[in-house]
Every structure is written in C-alpha cells, then in structure tokens.
Homo-oligomer: A and B are copies of this chain.
Amino acid sequence: MGKIPVWNPAIEFIEREALEQLQLARLRQTVEWALKTPFYHQRLTEAGLTRPEDIASLRDVRNIPYTTKDDLREAYPAGLLAVAPEQAVRLHTSSGTTGMPTVIYHTRRDIEHWTELVARCIVATGATARDVFQNMTHYGLFTGGLGLHYGAEQVGMLVIPASSGNTHRQIQLMKNFRTTVVHATPSYLLHLYEVLVNDGMTREQLCLRKAFIGAEPHSEQTRRKIEELFGIKAYNSYGLSEMNGPGVAFECVYQTGLHLWEDAYILEMIDPRTLQPLPEGETGEIVMTTLQRQATPLLRYRTRDLSHLMSGHCPCGRSHRRLARITGRSDDMLIVNGVNLFPSQIEEALMKIPEVGTNYLIQLEKRGSMDRLVVKTELCAKLFMGDRQTLDDLRERIGERLRSAILVKPAIELHQPGSLPVSEGKAQRVLDLRPAF
C-alpha cells in the first residue's frame, strides 16, 4: 500500500487520550453554545445542566437528555439557532416531505470545519489534487452536493459540479474530462452503467478509478457489484443532514468500516428500546453529539440509523473508531417477545439461502400473551416441485438459519413463486397483526 494518504495527520492519528481531552473541552464549549438556544436552554435547565462546568468528564454526556427528529421539527425555524442570525452564513433544510421540515444553520467557521471533515474523507480513500471529481449528487438544500463540492475543492481536485440526472451528459463529461472519481448514490451508478452499455460503450473508454457512494442504504453485494462492473474501488460514505451532511464517517483505503471523526462528534451506541448504552460490537442506534458546530449544536441526537462499532485497529493507523455499514433504521425495529430484531437481518439471512426466491413477507401475530413471528418466503421456480420430505427439510434449515441470525426461531411458510403480494414502489415486507395497546 505504501504511504497512507492523510489530510490532517495531527488529528487523524491523535492518541485516544488526547482525543478524549479534546472531546471533553469541545463538549463543554458545545453545551455553552447550546444553552444560548431557546430549545436547549429549557431542556438542559430541566436536566440540571446550566453551566459548561456541569460536564466534569466525558461520561457526563450521559446526563444530557437525548434530542430527536421531532425536537428539531418543533424547534423549526429558529429554536436551535445559537448565534445571532448575522453570524450564520448558510442554512440547509430537510425537504419536509414526511412532516415539518428541520433546519441546520452554519457559521463561516462551521462551514470550514465541515469542509475539513469532507477533505479528510476524500484523502483517506487515496484521492488527491490530481484527480478529476465529478459530483453527481444534487446541489442546493440537499447537503450531498455542496458538502462534497466544498471538500473536493479544498483538496484541490478538479471539480465538475455536474449535479444529479441527465445520464448521457454525465457519461459525456466523464469521457471528455477523464473523470477519475465520482460521487453518487449506488443505485444511480448501477443505472449509469446500464446506460453506458446501452450506448455501446465500455468502461475502458472511461478513466474512472474510485466512487464515493452514500445517501441510501445498500448492501456489501451492491458495493462489490459496482466495483466489478466499473473495475474501480467504491468507498462507503456516511452522513446525515443533522450532522452537516456527508463527512461524518468514510472508509479509508482499507475499506474495513467507516472512520467516524471523533474530534467533531461524540459517538454513542444505544439500545433504541431501553435507551441504554451498548457494549462495543453490539448493533444499536447511533447517537451523536456535535463538537464543533456553533450555529446549531446538537446534543445526543438520535440518528435512528443502526450499526455497530468495529473492534480492533484499522491498518491505516487512524485512531478514530469505525462504524460498520448501516444496516437499517431503528424505526424499522421489531420487538418479538422482548428480543429486538430488524427486517434487514431476516432479509440478509434469507438471501444467503440458494433455494429462496426474491419475495418474502414477515408477519407478526399474537398468540395469547406471546408474539409469534412468521416468515413467508417464495422458493425458486424449479425447487418448489420437491417432495414433502425435501420441503420439510428446507423449512427446518431456513428456520435454523434465521434463529442463528436473529436469536428467535420463526415459523416458516414456503410459497410458490409469484404467490406473495407484490408492492408497487417501496416493498412492504412487514405485516404486524398484533393488537395495539
């Protein structure tokens, strides 16, 4: 691999102890900023936190109440603004398609910090000022476009602000300017490849070497598919608008989990049901506290994104811990007889069984005081013709596979191909028939 590419060695290789001291100092500063907002002034006072000094150690972050998406909605438009309006130079709002919008403000220094985080991410993948970077994500209020744009410009890449859409033109730009790095959603890159092939072109006519993929959940198989189709490396990007946007966590050249910049965020993993901290390695909800954002500090924000912290050290030597790929959203979490599980875990296990078809349904029922989990799955066409014993064996095998994945053994129903309901648009995979309280 040679020398590890790095943007800011002093902070990226910082010793854990120094990092934690920095986090504590910045957490106190953030609490001071937060107390200037109407929202946190009330919330923190109720929790007995009225001065930055009330945070004696990093562990005291746990004395701070959680902040939720609903809190952000209620504080819209100015309840979380911690500076005078004339100190803010930017705001980004969520689209508000699923309810009231939310807004994050930035001072000039906030933008500089955000830009630095994105620059670190870009350089961690081995990209340099010699790369030609085509940014295929939407520019504007959506943070993906401007976020990567500023970081790439900071690094000194040749930035093509292509924005989203117009695939033929994207390909033309890639050819004409010998684009080496793109930023896009994984599904858009798969679509672009189809258009490329339909236009009678091959990947050899491009100079592409890397893709930054994010903004939608995707599996490791999808990443590998993109890498194989284009003959490139694809790096996972994690960000969310409440934490600026892109630049929160990114894979380095080793592609073994996403380094989360802990000088900028305090990371906690919690059980989304009990809200208790989880030990390293256990899957739970990511909770983050901003450490550098003056205009809109957020304390213990419940991201609703699910992941786990990876143990051990990355070969790159960065001291910032790594998140595993996002596996779902805590909104999706099912509780079955007290056990937390996620539809994505069931899907992942099912899709590893060759006999299983593409459609399945998860059904929850109540039997007396107990929950009952039923997984209905179609079989591949040629396999449904098996005799009764074969099908019984298969049912047992699927049940055991799922038990080892989710710690609950569901009842398995096998269905003919094409017999389960098909949804238009986003698939409805879960049917919860349990009575509400």
Which residues of the partner chain B approach A158 to less than 8 Å between Cβ atoms?
85-86, 88-91, 105
Segment from A140-148, A285-293, A297-305, A380-388 that makes contact with B: A140-148
Residue of B nearest to A95 (CB): B169
Give the residues in chain B near A108, CB-CB below 8 Å. Answer: 153, 156
Q: Is A389 an interface residue (CB 8 A)?
A: no
Proximity string of chain A (159-197) to chain B, C-beta cutoff 8 Å, 1 when within and 0 when not: 111110000000001001100000000000000000000
Which of B88, B132, B141, B177 has a CB less than 8 Å from the CB of A161? B141
Residue from A90, A103, A156, A173 whose CB has the most chain B CB atoms within 10 Å: A90
**When the two chains form their complex, are residues A130 and B86 in contact, meaning their CB atoms are under 8 A apart?**
yes
CB distance from A259 to the nearest CB of B (A): 25
A209 at the binding interface (Cβ < 8 Å): no
A111 at interface, CB cutoff 8 A: yes
| Oligomer copy total | 2
Enumerate chain B residues within 8 angstroms of A76, measured Cβ to Cβ.
Answer: 176
Which of chain B's residues have a CB closer than 8 A to the CB of A93? 160, 173
Chain B residue nearest in CB terms to A178: B85
* A238, B156: Cα distance in complex, Å: 29
A156's nearest neighbour on chain B, judged by CB, is: B89
Interchain CB contact under 8 A, A141 and B162: yes
State whether the Cβ of A357 lies closer than 8 Å to any Cβ in chain B.
no
* Contact A139-B161, Cβ < 8 Å, known A91-B177, A93-B173, A130-B86: yes
Q: Are B77 and A177 in touch, CB under 8 angstroms?
A: yes
Q: Is A429 an interface residue (CB 8 A)?
A: no
Asked whether A156 and B77 contact (CB < 8 A) given A91-B177, A163-B141, A173-B93, the answer is no
Q: Per DSSP, are chain A's interface residues mostly helix, strand or loop, or mixed? A: mixed
Q: Which chain B residue has the least Cβ–Cβ distance from A165?
A: B140
Q: Contact at B176–A163, with CB atoms within 8 Å? A: no
Flag if B156 contacts A145 (CB, 8 Å).
Answer: no
Q: Is A73 an interface residue (CB 8 A)?
A: no
Q: Decide yes or no whether A129 CB sits under 8 A from chain B.
A: yes
Decide if A92 is an interface residue (CB 8 Å cutoff): yes
CA distance A76 to B163 in the complex (A): 21
Given contacts A91-B158, A139-B139, A158-B91, contact A176 B146 (CB under 8 A): no
A139 → B minimal CB distance (Å) = 3
Once the chains are docked, how many angstroms separate the CA of A398 from the CA of B111? Answer: 59
Contacts of A89 in B (CB 8 A): 153, 156-159
**With a CB–CB cut-off of 8 A, which chain B residues contact A173?**
93
A77 to B105, CA, bound (A): 38
CB under 8 Å from chain B, chain A span 105-119 = 105, 108, 111
Contact present for B156 and A140 (CB under 8 Å): no
User: A117-147 toward B: CB 8 Å interface, digit per residue (1/0)?
Assistant: 0000000000001101000001111000110
* A85 / chain B contacts, CB cutoff of 8 Å: 130, 132, 158
Report yes or no: B77 in contact with A159, Cβ–Cβ below 8 A: no
Shortest distance from the beta carbon of A140 to any chain B beta carbon, whole Å: 3
A residues apposed to B, CB below 8 Å:
76-77, 85-86, 88-93, 103, 105, 108, 111, 129-130, 132, 138-141, 145-146, 153, 156-163, 173, 176-177
Known: A85-B130, A139-B163; 10 extra A-B contacts, CB below 8 A, are A89-B157, A89-B158, A89-B159, A91-B158, A91-B160, A91-B177, A139-B161, A141-B160, A141-B161, A146-B161
Q: Can you list 5 A-B contacts (CB < 8 A)?
A: A85-B130, A88-B158, A89-B158, A93-B160, A139-B146
